[in-house]
Amino acid sequence: SLTQSRHSRHLGACAAALERFGDLGDSGDLAVAAEQLRVARRELGRITGHVGAEDILDIIFRDFCVGK
């Protein structure tokens, strides 16, 4: 179904971000590592229905011509 497809896509994106996080190892840049964890959390939030301020801002800037 559509919902299962959407969940699968978000889980895949989450897994990819976690894999990139893992590939950084102990010598990786902390800012890059934190970004990968943030991406993974956001993808899980899209499945569970958690909407954060970043998601709202993304929609506003994507759908409206703010600042143009």
pLDDT per residue as tens digits for the range 11-62: 999 999 999 999 998 878 889 999 999 999 999 998 998 877 777 777 777 7
How does residue 65 score in pLDDT terms, banded at 50, 70 and 90?
Answer: low
pTM: 0.70
Query: Scanning the structure block, which residue is given the tokens 């934190």?
Result: 34
| Whether 4 contacts 27, CB under 8 Å | no
- Higher-pLDDT residue of 67 and 47 is 47
Q: How far apart are CA 68 and CA 56, in angstroms?
A: 18
pLDDT of residue 18: 95
